[in-house]
Amino acid sequence: MNKQTKQALIFVAILLAILAVFQFADIGSPKTKESTITEIKQLVQDKKVSEIRVKGSKIEARVDGEVLIAYIEKSAQLSDYQITPDNVNIVVEDPDKGSLLPNLLTIFLPFLLIAGFLYFMLKSATGSNMRAMDFGRSKAQLYLGKHKISFADVAGAEEAKQELEEVVEFLRYPEKFRRLGAEIPKGVLLVGPPGTGKTLIARAVAGEAGVPFFSVSASEFVEMFVGVGAARTRDIFAKAKRNAPSIMFIDELDAIGRQRGSGLGGSHDEREQTLNQILVEMDGFNPGTKVVVMAATNRPDVLDPALLRPGRFDRRVMLDLPNKKERKAIFEVHLKNKPVDKTVNAEKIAQGTAGFSGADIKNVANEAAIFAARQNKKTISQNDLNWAVEKVFLGPERRSKVLSEKEKEITAYHEAGHAIVGHILPGTDPIHKISVVSRGMALGFTWSVPLEDLHLSSKEKFEDQIAQMLAGRVAEEIQFNSITTGASNDLKNATKIARDMVTRYGMSDEIGPMTLGEKEELIFLGKELAEHKTYSEKSAALIDQEVSDIINEAKKRAYQVLAKHKKMLKQIAEKLLKEETIEGEDFARL
């Protein structure tokens, strides 16, 4: 219930109470009845009247607990009507003097009602104005001491933490640096893929320094009204300065920090005004202001150069996807407060989760806990974690998606083809699992896991990967003399790798070591909507020919491997049809 509703209910309750006073004020009074002066005269003569009250022209006669009311002329007296009561108590009251409470209520109640109505009207109008003014106020969340996070809660990212230790030192002991003429960094830009812990590490910096932490999403600055973004920018910077020393964190900076004037048909004016205000505010910091602006983005390439110059975002801290050692540490952090079986091997799980971000690992730990709870287990086992890894990486199982026997057989040979070529060619990763159980949009899958984290890929590795991708389609041709749509995603990925080999990595003997084509991004209309050709039509035809040659050569290699191991292809496909899933160790033994 909001405040205005509560006030309205209170007002209605008071009004009802006043009406109740009017209604029940005379509950204890005798019952009244209209009468005539003649009837009262007769009752007096019969000595049935115990008391008579005279209020001007109003006569009240009390008879056996009942009050009879009659009226006489204003100038008349009881004796004029030959009413001469004996042994009757007669009370004469001033007609102008009545009960105090009813008189007061009669006078003031209309004014109270009008005043109450005006009050709520003004209150409503003021509330509307305040809500309108709230558009210019920042929606930043302030974290003071609640849920304090330190660097100990951030597993991995050791280099990033070392870089940010200086910011913590600046905020804790500013005089130590000022004595030598050093200035506190005005801005720190955290750069990395989604889920790598940019927001978490920013909060950890605030927790380590023991200062207020203001967090806001860049998209919250922009509204439909012009000037709101700039007003909110001024508001959050003012709050941060009032609470200095403090940290102000802007998440997804690229939402408002994109390069100005680069949108199709002109960029969004409101975004540009907001960005201009941020630049002005950061320039407005004097050297003594103990406010550090931290921002996070996974697209530093689209940011306006004015944001990245020294004096604004002085530091750029990179947060990459965690390596095997860091993944193990992150798993241990997220499993720390969960009941885990003693047989759980965090290192083995980290081995099979190459390419997972910190957010993915957190999700795996949570999914494992949910799965164990559904099974009524008391602890989380290694199998629960393996199941969770598969769900996060491949999607949920879809056992309800029933395939015909023919489709299931085609899928089994398709996945067996991927697995055999992936096992034999040296440039592919070891097979972790093969299955014909539908997951996500796939009818089946062959899951390969690298033995170590790789940062470079060779031409030979790309060629082997393309051959493995095409092996499913080749296996269908060998066994059924036909092809299906099941290889559509394989063809898409293989074509992309082949084209990148030619146009980006210079791995074509015909074209040579050069990059062809530049991606153009229309900033406010999405990602890579156009590609600027820096080559002729003749070169374009040559690129297409080279891509085709790479794919056809890879297909030939896959065909040679599967034709040579046709017996093994049939054996693995039949095992898949029977068991639905083959683990990597069992496959290697086959």
Task: Please state, in angstroms and rounded to a whole number, the distance separating the CA atoms of residues 454 and 587.
Answer: 24
Phi, psi of 397 (to 5 degrees): -65, 145
- Residue 23: enclosing H or E segment and its boundaries? helix 3-24
Q: Computed over its alpha carbons, how large is the radius of gyration of the chain?
A: 42
* Residue 336 C-beta-side C-alpha neighbours within 13 Å: 10
In 10 A of CB 499, how many CB atoms? 18
| Rounded Cα gap, residues 316 and 324, in angstroms | 24
The span from the CA of 510 to the CA of 546, in Å, is: 8
d(CA 502, CA 409): 36
Burial class (CB in 10 A: 0-12, 13-18, 19+), 302: middle
Whether the Cβ atoms of residue 580 and residue 438 lie closer than 8 Å to each other = no
Active site residue 415: yes
Query: What DSSP line would sit under 30-91, residue for residue?
Result: PEEEE--HHHHHHHHHTT---EEEEETTEEEEEETTEEEEEE--TT--GGGGT---SS-EEE
434 DSSP β-pair partners:
446, 582
Report the run of H or E that residue 382 belongs to, with start and end: helix 382-394
Count of CB atoms situated within 10 Å of the CB of 450 = 15
Sign for the pseudo-dihedral over CA of 424, 428, 430, 435: negative
Cβ-count burial of 177 within 10 angstroms (0-12 exposed, 13-18 middle, 19+ buried)? Answer: middle
- Distance of alpha carbon 526 from the chain centroid: 21
CB 169 within 8 A of CB 151: no
CA torsion sign for 491, 496, 499, 505 is negative
**Integer CA distances (angstroms), 132 to 2, 125, 135, 469, 530, in order:** 18, 11, 6, 57, 40
Q: Using CA atoms, how far apart are residues 357 and 330, in angstroms rounded to an integer?
A: 10
* Alpha helices, H only, 97-253: 100-134, 158-172, 174-178, 198-209, 228-242
Catalytic residue among 252, 326, 409, 415: 415
The phi, psi pair for 350, rounded to 5°, reads -60, -35
Residues in the chain: 590
Q: Going along 307-453, which residue ranges are E strands?
A: 315-318, 431-435, 445-448
Whether the Cβ atoms of residue 226 and residue 269 lie closer than 8 Å to each other: yes
Catalytic residues: 415
